Amino acid sequence: GSTGRPKGVAVSHRAIAEHVDGFVAEWNVTAGDRWLQSSSVSFDASLAEIFITLSLGAQLIVPKPQAFTDLGYLAELISRRGVTVLHMVPS
């Protein structure tokens, strides 16, 4: 949960690389995929979205700010850009 106060998280390069490798193997993500970024770049989870797509040569679709509160925009963006991967929390 969030306290509303910024925190620092140390994530090693090795941990990111291993996470990317495991995710690619488990999800069968390829260079042909289009991944919709759902995490803020200030959140450590965004590293997976960014580095998985970059390491494969896939496309990272970066939505406008607050996209996930505008479901009409989000549905249109997914359709128009041919998004194939969206990884986010259920809420």
> Could you tell me what percent of the chain has a pLDDT over 70?
93
Higher pLDDT, 30 or 48: 30
pLDDT of 45: 76
pLDDT mean across residues, the chain = 86
Give Cα separations from 20 to 12, 27, 71 (angstroms).
Answer: 13, 10, 28
Q: Quick one: average pLDDT of 34-60?
A: 87
Q: Residue 59: which H helix or E strand, with range?
A: strand 59-61
d(CA 88, CA 91): 8
Torsion of CA 17, 22, 28, 32, to 10 degrees: -10
d(CA 15, CA 17): 6
d(CA 42, CA 69): 18
Instruction: Please state the pTM of the whole predicted model.
Output: 0.75
pLDDT of 13: 83
